[in-house]
Amino acid sequence: MSYRSESFLMAGETLKKAFARHGMDACYCATAEEAKEKILSIIPEGSSVTWGGTESMMEAGVIEAVKQGNYEVIDRKSAKTPEEARALYGKIVCADYFLTSTNAFTKDGMLVNIDGASNRVACIAHGPAHVIVLASMDKMCDNVEDAVRRIRTLASPPNAVRVNVQTPCAKTGVCGDCLSPECICCQILVTRYSRVPGRITVVLCGEKLGF
């Protein structure tokens, strides 16, 4: 085991206790493959499963595995019209499991996310019966302020490029603290505590995933 892997393993145990104090379950997986298998083991067959925009879940192969599995899949991208999208959103917020990543998390056990359309942060906060969060260890930050700084510096610019919006950071690679009509930093959610036991599970991963 490398020094980095051993450090992540120890940090995973520390973070598990930290998230527990904030009402969230947590576990550590050394690799993306292990994380995928862990996530699939949590979801009972036949459950309704949906997700927000999550590169981490995509990169780990979770979304594809869910699509190929024995689940009721609710894919928001399947909507063809605004009316269909609105009707589908009603199913999304009532899903059994919502899969997502997190933009950052604090070492004392809080999740920090920034969104544009904000369907993702809305479902983390309320709606789906269970939320599974996949977070690579490089997203650990000292505190909420550090987490917001990380997101706006390292996550939002490449995300803006990915979704092809016309924001300053998509053109310069650097956050411009913009109020652009296509801004993807509209809502900031700090998940400080989960009042529903077992609703949120954080799967920490030793391999880098997402932004």
pLDDT digits (tens, 9 = 90+) for 3-22: 778 899 999 999 999 999 99
Span 3-205 CATH architecture: 3-Layer(aba) Sandwich (3.40)
The predicted pLDDT at position 206 comes to 96
**In angstroms, rounded to a whole number, what is the distance separating the alpha carbons of residues 116 and 136?**
22
| Helix ranges, the chain (H) | 3-21, 32-42, 55-59, 62-68, 82-92, 119-125, 144-150, 156-162, 168-172
54 phi/psi in degrees, rounded to 5: -140, 100
Percent of the chain with pLDDT over 90: 89
Cα-Cα-Cα-Cα torsion 176, 181, 184, 190, nearest 10 degrees, comes to: 90
pLDDT digits (tens, 9 = 90+) for 183-205: 999 999 999 999 999 999 999 99
Domain boundaries, the chain: 3-205
**In angstroms, rounded to a whole number, what is the distance separating the alpha carbons of residues 190 and 112?**
5
The predicted pLDDT at position 1 comes to 64
pLDDT digits (tens, 9 = 90+) for 72-119: 999 988 888 988 888 899 999 999 999 999 999 999 999 999 999 899
Average pLDDT, the chain: 95
Taking the whole predicted model, whether its pTM rises above 0.85 is answered as yes
Question: Residue 105 carries which DSSP code?
Answer: E
**In angstroms, rounded to a whole number, what is the distance separating the alpha carbons of residues 1 and 170?**
39
